[in-house]
């Protein structure tokens, strides 16, 4: 969710971000989540955004993929 857009983007180089969204989310539309991903990416973050056929709540699939993403970060940090 994009609560506001900063006038000047922070330097997020080297920051990894996981974003998950539901394509059926009635609270935060997909376009808003995509805008957040763009803002963070424009600030230099490495953004991974995934969308699921779900509403606003977390799904098992999201948790599984988020866990894999975190494990890949931990593995790359060990190198």
Q: Model confidence over 18-45: pLDDT tens digits?
A: 999 999 999 999 999 999 999 999 999 9
Domain boundaries, the chain: 19-77
73-to-5, 42, 66 alpha-carbon distances in Å: 28, 21, 11
Q: Model confidence over 58-79: pLDDT tens digits?
A: 999 999 999 999 999 988 777 6
């Amino acid at each position: 969710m994009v609560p506001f857009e900063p006038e000047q983007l922070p330097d997020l180089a080297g920051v990894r971000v996981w974003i998950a969204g539901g394509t059926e989310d009635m609270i935060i539309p997909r376009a808003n989540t995509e805008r957040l991903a763009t803002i963070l990416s424009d600030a230099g973050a490495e953004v991974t955004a995934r969308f699921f056929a779900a509403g606003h709540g977390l799904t098992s699939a999201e948790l599984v993929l988020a866990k894999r993403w975190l494990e890949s970060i931990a593995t790359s940090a060990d190198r």
